[in-house]
Amino acid sequence: MSQGWNVQDIPDQGGRTAVVTGANSGLGLATTRALAVRGARVVLACRDASRGEEAAARVRRVVPGADVTFAPLDLADLASVREFADRFEGDRLDLLIDNAGVMALPQGRTADGFETQFGVNHLGHFALTGLLLPRLLATPGARVVAVSSFVHTLSGLDFDDLNSEHGYRRWIAYARSKTANLLFVHELARRLERAGSEVVAAAAHPGYASTNLQTAGVRMERRRTAERIVGWGNTLFAQTASAGALPTLYAATAPGVRPDSFTGPRLLMTRGTPAPSWRARWTLDDAAGERLWAASEELTGVTYPV
């Protein structure tokens, strides 16, 4: 891995199609813009139509001739996930970047009754990836990249309480959802290998990047002082969203990325150019991966063709 890898090192993406979830702002928008610059057709999969359309327009203004389109996707509603997959046009899909997420929200439930962070960050993406997998399998060189977080180190999964029904702690729930992202990639990579598929399932994290993810929870609760403090922290210490997107872009496009790899910022997992990232041992547990997979199939009703 080159020490100075940057967006200029992204290989030509002409003729390739990418889906980026949560592409209307932050890391997702930065990822979309970088892929569009290199010639990819990018589908911005976002919950809010006005924000999604505006994000696509912004990319077109910055990248003349960019082939970017908005498509509605609400990861908190499995019916919306199925509708997105049913409407997706074309037989091939080169890149699926499971980027969208929520962080440290007040306790809530998705449309299907799942704890919000587990439902959006893991189950929604699990269902989406499974429904789009036939197209990925049919596309030479296809990759799936799940965006996790170094915060996953705070907690493994509690399989007796996946929906945090027995005492909700927002940061632990977030950490568990990010652990689920890594376990999902671990198990998906194992299944793809057993099936003889060359699709690469990998993971990345942005380190400490300045996005609206950090302020969403405190804003929902109208905690103005906390929102200001988080905003100051983003300004003083965080790297930009464009820098935070680099590990995702590396995992999605760099030659030789290994299945089940985890890429993050080089400096203390918080900032800098992409490098292999440390991960908690529980994200490499085969038995836990199989157990999460079985639970996810049962909860979402989505089974995989591998």
Render pLDDT for 252-293 as a digit per residue (tens, 0 to 9). 999 999 999 999 999 887 889 999 999 999 999 999 999 999
Strand duo 68-72 + 95-98: pairing: unpaired
Q: Is a pLDDT exceeding 90 seen at residue 187?
A: yes
Pick the catalytic residue from 168, 174, 250, 304: 174
174 has catalytic annotation = yes
Q: What backbone torsions phi and psi does residue 146 show, to the nearest 5 degrees?
A: -100, 130
How many percent of the chain have pLDDT more than 70? 90
Tokens at residue 40, please? 């990819």
As given in the structure block, the two tokens for residue 248 are 């995702």
pLDDT value of residue 268: 80
Nearest one of 147, 143, 123 to 21, comparing CA atoms: 147
* 305: number of Cβ within 10 Å: 10
Question: Which structure tokens are listed for 193?
Answer: 């290998």
Closest CA to 174 of 199, 152, 159, 146: 152
**Looking at the predicted structure, is the pLDDT value of residue 207 above 80?**
yes
Average pLDDT over residues 77-91: 96
pLDDT of res. 220: 55
pLDDT band at 218 (very low <50, low <70, confident <90, very high): very low
pLDDT digits (tens, 9 = 90+) for 22-48: 999 999 999 999 999 999 999 999 999
Determine contact, residues 23/29, Cβ cutoff 8 Å.
yes
